[in-house]
Amino acid sequence: MNLHPYLVELGPATVMIELSRYYLAQGGDSLGKRQLDEPMNGIPELPFWEPSFGESIRKSLQNSLLSLSGLHKKRKLILAGQELCLLEEIVRVAPHLEVHIAVESTMPEDVFQRIAANIPSGLNARPFRGPVLTGNFNPKDTLLVAVGFEAGLSWAMLMQESLRTLSSIKPYFLGDTLLLVPYNKPIYTREACWATVEKARFFMRRVA
């Protein structure tokens, strides 16, 4: 099964949570590393079968948001690539934020519309096609955020789509740019839809 379309439309952390639910429904950690129906392409090999895996991903994103100093003073957040479970956590811990979900200009219209339709209730959010930042983004009250994973001491792993979006926006954005890390161990993969980047190129600091 090719998971790449789901990673783009829902976000990698969200897909990981759903995979964890799937494994648990099929027997949980008693399956160990045994493959279920077919290989799942596009996603790193992680312990989805562990009972607490999915919840730990969600909790890490929540803690990442809570750890942001002065979050209550920020008005806007630009998200480089979709991450549905992060949007759900923003509703819980920072519902005052106005969220702008930056996606690639080449994203198909039907996918774009589904992202818009899946925005959680109670959240002021909208997707937009990069790289042009439309609207007033004051660097003092706006955060630019990407969800990614540790890939070594000074490296991070991002979805290719998130990286391209981040690369196109960053030159026009002068505010804080942060990496949210939903998993506390380095991951490595040769899947073509992922890219390894030097954190210092894009991010002020890592938020785990």
Neighbour count for residue 39 (Cβ, 10 Å): 8
Predicted model pTM: 0.90
Query: Which H helix or E strand runs over 125?
Result: strand 124-129
- Residues whose CB is less than 8 angstroms from the CB of residue 53 and which lie 6 or more positions away in sequence, other chains included: 16, 20, 46, 47
Question: Is 205 a residue whose pLDDT tops 80?
Answer: no
Do the Cβ atoms of 48 and 31 come closer than 8 Å?
Answer: no
- Taking all residues of the chain, what is their mean pLDDT, rounded to a whole number? 87
Burial of residue 123 (CB within 10 Å: 0-12, 13-18, 19+) is middle
Q: pLDDT tens across 103-131, in order?
A: 998 999 999 999 999 999 999 999 998 76
d(CA 9, CA 112): 8
Model confidence over 144-195: pLDDT tens digits? 999 999 998 899 999 999 999 999 888 888 888 999 999 988 988 888 999 9
Q: Give dist(CA 142, CA 51) in Å, integer.
A: 36
Residue 119 to residues 11, 79, 89, 100, 115, Cα–Cα distance (Å): 13, 13, 12, 11, 7
Distances (CA, A) of 169 to 33, 77, 177: 39, 13, 11
**Domain parsing of the chain, residue ranges:** 58-207
Residue 160 structure tokens: 């290719």
Residue range 58-207, CATH number: 3.40.50.10470
**Residue-wise pLDDT tens digits, 64-76:** 888 887 888 899 9
User: How far is it, in rounded angstroms, from Cα 148 to Cα 112?
Assistant: 21
